[in-house]
Structure 1
Amino acid sequence: MSAPILKFVGVSRVYHSGDEDVRALDEVSFHVDAGELVAVMGPSGSGKSTLLALAGGLDVPTSGSITVGGTEVTTLAPTSLAQLRRDRIGYVFQDFNLISELTAAENVALPRELAGVRPRAARREAIAALAEVGVDHLAHRFPEQMSGGQQQRIAIARALVGERHLVLADEPTGALDSQTGEAVMEVLRARVDAGAAGVLVTHEPRYAGWADRTIFLRDGRVVEGTTSPVPLEQLLRGHS
């Protein structure tokens, strides 16, 4: 069997707030294989966003080991970590993080250009990614000219452009209506089925139902894992 694309082993993250230590994650271990989508659920403050930030190399753990594609990310130099994020990890942020001065196509093409792809080729890839999420007609618009749902789809296209081995999504359907949310999940599911590994943070059981497994967090700890399909509403009632 091939090694997992993403692997956490005993990962903890402690933040210092005055005289108090806040343990956002506490000895979390899990893995995500190629071709697998794992949903992460739990109440507010349970550690979901911290887990995703650590997986994407946007934060470093206080203790434990995190590997992406077999590379130990906690020991990488800042330049190597930035290259790993740019080339192999797609991240859908909850607040979009689009650059207001760039058009939709330019926002999506930017990580490819930073990876050394020629501008014309990067733009072709960007248009293809925009088409994949159904917004290629917005290629020339700036973020301020779009609705929240449209901006979210641009952000998803940016996360999917190029060859991403790991796709991390923080509430990617939060700004979308149900029909568009289902369409976005189809895109994420298709990318995972093509060989990427995916981690989806969501509070919606219907979107977690697209995942192969669901991990539940409470107070920074994994309290239960399950495989789909499962009566997630019933499980959530047990962890509310």
Structure 2
Amino acid sequence: MSVLAMTSVSRDHGAGAGLVHALAEVSLEVRAGEFVAVMGPSGSGKSTLLTLAGGLDTPTSGQVVVEGADLGAMRAAARSALRRRSVGYVFQDLNLIPSLTAAENVMLPRELDGVRARRAREEAGRALQEVGVADLAARYPDEMSGGQQQRVAIARALVGDRRLVLADEPTGALDSHTGEDVMRMLRARCDAGAACLMVTHESRHAAWADRVVFLRDGRIVDATPGRPGPETLLQEAR
């Protein structure tokens, strides 16, 4: 089943002589259980692709559908609710709130979505346990190492039933050992049924993906073939 479907998506910035085509006629589908990596030179449109996929921006033309919902046809409030409920983001700069503990940072998106504090804290605890930092629940970001902060950021992205996980250079500021741990966690989440779309410049991290898409000048110029998704394997078994 397709979790993310982007059809002929373009994003322009500016006008006239200053017009920039950040993304041009991009079509991309990510299925449940599939891990897709996006590679390309700086300025190729990788981050624009992620912001459009998660509804943080709207395309100039084309369609972005997440879990059957056309983001362009939704009001801003409904789009925000869908992001909180179904989309998890892992950013290179983490975006943890300094005044909140690890548990409170992970709880926040669930509380914003109306989940009661007790349930949100329980879910946050499970998410922190999943990424191996349950013992840091009461610590503030400045009391953690960079790798620990990244794990908390991943827990925040995974808390609740996030069907689409978007990661923008999630290992960029980490040492190689911690970076491999982060990739292992993202891979495990995909294997559990989530759809993952990750921007990376590291070939060794892209190797964790089922499929690699290459962007240049806002267009998809190449893609490796993906392995069969869970639904395809089930059909073949029948």
- Give 2:36's match in structure 1, choosing from 32, 38, 45: 38
Could you tell which deviates more after superposition, 118-127 or 59-68?
Answer: 118-127
- Give 2:110's match in structure 1, choosing from 109, 112, 115: 112
Residue 227 of structure 1 and its aligned partner are, at CA, apart by 3.2
1:138 is matched with which residue?
Answer: 136
Residue 78 of structure 1 and its aligned partner are, at CA, apart by 0.7
* Alpha-carbon separation, structure 2, partners of 1:127 and 1:81: 27
2:122 is matched with which residue?
Answer: 124
* Alpha-carbon separation, structure 2, partners of 1:64 and 1:118: 37
* Alpha-carbon separation, structure 2, partners of 1:94 and 1:66: 24
1:13 is matched with which residue?
Answer: 11
- Give 2:51's match in structure 1, choosing from 53, 59, 69: 53
Residue 18 of structure 1 and its aligned partner are, at CA, apart by 7.5
Q: Does the CA-based 8 Å contact 2:37-2:211 persist in structure 1?
A: yes
Tell me whether 1:180 sits opposite 2:162 in the alignment: no
* Alpha-carbon separation, structure 2, partners of 1:156 and 1:65: 28
* Alpha-carbon separation, structure 2, partners of 1:150 and 1:228: 32
2:202 is matched with which residue?
Answer: 204
* Alpha-carbon separation, structure 1, partners of 2:17 and 2:145: 43
2:233 is matched with which residue?
Answer: none
Amino acid at match of 2:192: A
2:235 is matched with which residue?
Answer: none
Q: Determine helix, strand or coil for the equivalent of 1:164.
A: coil
Q: Deviations over 1:180-203 (max 9, x none)?
A: 111111111111111110001101
Q: Does the CA-based 8 Å contact 1:152-1:175 persist in structure 2?
A: no
Amino acid at match of 1:13: R
| Count of paired positions | 227
Residue 19 of structure 1 and its aligned partner are, at CA, apart by 3.8
Q: Determine helix, strand or coil for the equivalent of 2:224.
A: strand
Residue 64 of structure 1 and its aligned partner are, at CA, apart by 0.4
* Alpha-carbon separation, structure 2, partners of 1:158 and 1:97: 10
Q: Determine helix, strand or coil for the equivalent of 1:43.
A: coil
* Alpha-carbon separation, structure 2, partners of 1:186 and 1:94: 17
Amino acid at match of 2:23: L
User: Structure 1, unaligned stretches of length 5 or more?
Assistant: 230-240
* Alpha-carbon separation, structure 1, partners of 2:126 and 2:174: 21
* Alpha-carbon separation, structure 2, partners of 1:17 and 1:138: 48
Residue 51 of structure 1 and its aligned partner are, at CA, apart by 0.2
Q: Does the CA-based 8 Å contact 1:209-1:228 persist in structure 2?
A: no
Q: Determine helix, strand or coil for the equivalent of 1:227.
A: coil
User: Structure 2, unaligned stretches of length 5 or more?
Assistant: 228-238
Give aligned-pair identity as a percent: 64
Could you tell which deviates more after superposition, 28-37 or 113-122?
Answer: 113-122
Residue 43 of structure 1 and its aligned partner are, at CA, apart by 0.5
Amino acid at match of 2:172: G
* Alpha-carbon separation, structure 2, partners of 1:88 and 1:33: 14
1:87 is matched with which residue?
Answer: 85
Q: Deviations over 1:27-49 (max 9, x none)?
A: 00010000100000001110000
* Alpha-carbon separation, structure 1, partners of 2:188 and 2:75: 33
Amino acid at match of 2:198: L
Residue 216 of structure 1 and its aligned partner are, at CA, apart by 0.2
What CA RMSD, in Å, does the superposition of the two structures yield over aligned residues? Answer: 1.4
Residue 228 of structure 1 and its aligned partner are, at CA, apart by 6.3
- Give 1:220's match in structure 2, choosing from 218, 221, 231: 218
Tell me whether 1:169 sits opposite 2:167 in the alignment: yes
Relative to structure 1, is the Cα distance of residues 17 and 134 closer, same or farther in structure 2, using a 3 angstrom cutoff? farther
* Alpha-carbon separation, structure 2, partners of 1:220 and 1:149: 31
